[in-house]
Amino acid sequence: MRYTLMKPCSPLLFPPKDLVLEPVIALVGKANACLSRYDGLLESLVNPEILLSPLLMKEAELSSRIEGTIATANEVYQQQAGEEFEPEKKADIQEILNYHNTLRTAGQILAEQPVSLHLIRQMHEILMQGVRGKGKNPGKFRDTQNWIGPGGCSIEEATYVPPPPTALNDLLEGFISFINIQDDKLDPIIQTALVHAQFELIHPFDDGNGRIGRLLIPLFLMKKGCIVSPSLYISRYFEADRDTYIDKLEQVSSKGDWLGWIQYFLGALIDQAERNLQLVRQINELYETKKRQISELLRSDKSIYILDMLFDSPVFGANEVHRRLDIQRQRAAQYVRTLKNAGVIIELRPASGRRAALMSFEDLWKITDQQ
Ligand SMILES: Nc1ncnc2c1ncn2[C@@H]1O[C@H](COP(=O)(O)OP(=O)(O)OP(=O)(O)O)[C@@H](O)[C@H]1O
Ligand SMILES: [Mg+2]
Contact 110, 222 (CB under 8 A): yes
Give me the chain's average pLDDT, please.
Answer: 94
Instruction: Kindly give the distance from the C-alpha atom of residue 211 to the centroid of ligand 2, in angstroms, as a whole number.
Output: 8
- DSSP single-letter state for residue 270: H
Residue 10 pLDDT exceeds 70: no
pLDDT value of position 165: 95
Between 9-18, 66-75, 100-109, the lowest mean confidence (pLDDT) is in: 9-18
DSSP, collapsed to helix, strand or coil, labels residue 152 as coil
Rounded to an integer, what distance in angstroms lies between the CA atom of residue 252 and that of residue 8? 11
pLDDT bin (cut points 50, 70, 90) of residue 354 is: confident
- Nearest-10 Cα torsion for 292, 301, 315, 369: 30
Q: Is 264 helix (H, G, I), strand (E, B) or coil?
A: helix
Instruction: Give the residue, 79 or 18, on which the prediction is more confident.
Output: 79
- CA 200 to ligand 1 centroid distance, Å: 6
Distance CA 102, CA 98 (A): 6
Nearest ligand for residue 163 CA = 1
- Best mutation site among 145, 148, 235 for ligand 1, i.e. most ligand atoms within 8 A of its Cβ? 148
Going by C-alpha positions, the residue among 139, 135, 141, 140 that lies closest to residue 105 is: 139
Residues 6+ apart with CB under 8 A from 288: none
The region of weakest confidence among 31-35, 149-153, 185-189, 253-257 is 149-153
| CA–CA distances in Å: residue 70 to residues 64, 96, 194, 235 | 8, 10, 29, 15
CA dist., res. 204 & res. 153, Å (int): 19
Neighbours of ion ligand 2 (CB under 5 A): 207
pLDDT tens string 180-199? 999 999 999 999 999 999 99
| Per-residue pLDDT at 2 exceeds 50 | no
- Rounded to the nearest angstrom, the distance between the alpha carbon of 207 and the centre of ligand 2 is 5
288, pLDDT greater than 50: yes
67 CA to middle of ligand 2, Å? 6
Report whether 307 contacts 294 (CB < 8 A).
yes
Q: Which ligand 1 atom sits closest to the C-alpha of 69?
A: 27
List domains and CATH numbers for the chain: 22-279 (1.10.3290.10), 296-368 (1.10.10.10)
* CA nearest to 294, candidates 280, 282, 310: 310
Question: So what's the pLDDT on residue 297?
Answer: 98
From 195, 209, 261, give the residue whose CB has the most ligand 1 atoms within 8 Å, as the site to mutate.
209
C-alpha dist (Å) from residue 320 to 22, 56, 226, 310, 326: 57, 22, 38, 12, 10
Residue type, 72: T
106-161 pLDDT, tens per residue?
999 999 999 999 999 999 999 999 886 667 899 999 999 999 988 889 999 999 99
Average pLDDT over residues 333-357: 96
Give the ligand at the shortest distance from the Cα of 207: 1
Pairing, β 346-349 against β 315-317? unpaired
* pLDDT confidence of residue 370: 81
Q: Can you name the residues that pair with 317 across neighbouring β-strands? A: 358
- Percent of the chain beyond pLDDT 70? 96
DSSP 140: -
Residue 65: CB partners within 8 Å, gap ≥ 6?
235, 239
Count of CB atoms situated within 10 Å of the CB of 101: 15
Does residue 93 register a pLDDT over 80? yes
- List all residues whose CB is within 6 A of at least one atom of ligand 1: 66-67, 148, 159-160, 200-201, 207-211, 213, 246, 249-250, 253
Confidence band of 8 (pLDDT split at 50, 70, 90): very low
CA of residue 246 to ligand 1 center, whole Å? 8
List beta partners, residue 359: 316, 347
